[in-house]
Amino acid sequence: MKLYYSPGACSLAPHIVLNEAGLAYEPVLASTKTHQLADGTDYYTINSKGYVPLLELDSGERLSEGPAIVQYIADQVPAKKLAPANGTMARYRLQEWLNFITSELHKGIGGMFNPAMPEEGKAVLRARATTRLKWVDDQLEGKQYLMGDEFSVADPYLFTITNWTKPTGIDISGRKNLSAFQARMAARPAVQAAMKAEGLLK
């Protein structure tokens, strides 16, 4: 398999999940600025959406969108219990988290990286994200991870997006549950390996 990624982008989540799964894969750098690969290939010829992540299977089939990719990876290694079994209420709870992160956190916080976004717009996005993150902090009370004490593929996604709070000026220092979650995630070997591979850790 190949994972097309850009350092620190939302593709960090499936990068972490691939490491957690222990599956063989090749990380391929796809710049979100130039939309080119290292060899000059136009990334739009690989993914017409032009963004990461993209997972290319050994069959040549390609899967886009992080929440779909992380569930696909989890389902390749059911014994690792990275996601609850399909058809269970727990699986729908996982999808509930993935949908919340993608729609309520990812798009809003990510929008602040757009250089064309005026400061007034950023202030609106920052206020909304702060409210949403307070809610997440409340949900993490008494839990190790989003789904309880068991790690799931939703956790690397939340970890990745909350890493964007500092550069976008969102203060989560007072969110003790979220801060503890971030520290817990940062200590996982699979997280450290992915971040090192992306040049985010020395």
For domain 89-188, give the fold: Glutathione S-transferase Yfyf (Class Pi); Chain A, domain 2 (1.20.1050)
Alpha-carbon distance 12 to 25, whole Å? 14
- Residue 112, exposed/middle/buried by CB under 10 A (0-12, 13-18, 19+)? buried
In whole angstroms, give the CA distance from residue 29 to residue 12: 12
pLDDT tens digits, 3-46: 999 999 999 999 999 999 999 999 999 998 899 999 999 999 99
Is-same-fold flag (2-81+190-197; 89-188)?
Answer: no
Percent of the chain topping pLDDT 90:
99
Q: Does domain 2-81+190-197 have CATH number 3.40.30.10?
A: yes
pLDDT digits (tens, 9 = 90+) for 131-185: 999 999 999 999 999 999 999 999 999 999 999 999 999 999 999 999 999 999 9
pLDDT at 44: 97
Buried b (16+ CB within 10 A) or exposed e, 158-190: bbbbbbbbeebebebeebeebeebbeebeebeb
- What does the pLDDT read at residue 202? 80
pLDDT on residue 10: 97
What residues does each domain of the chain span? 2-81+190-197, 89-188
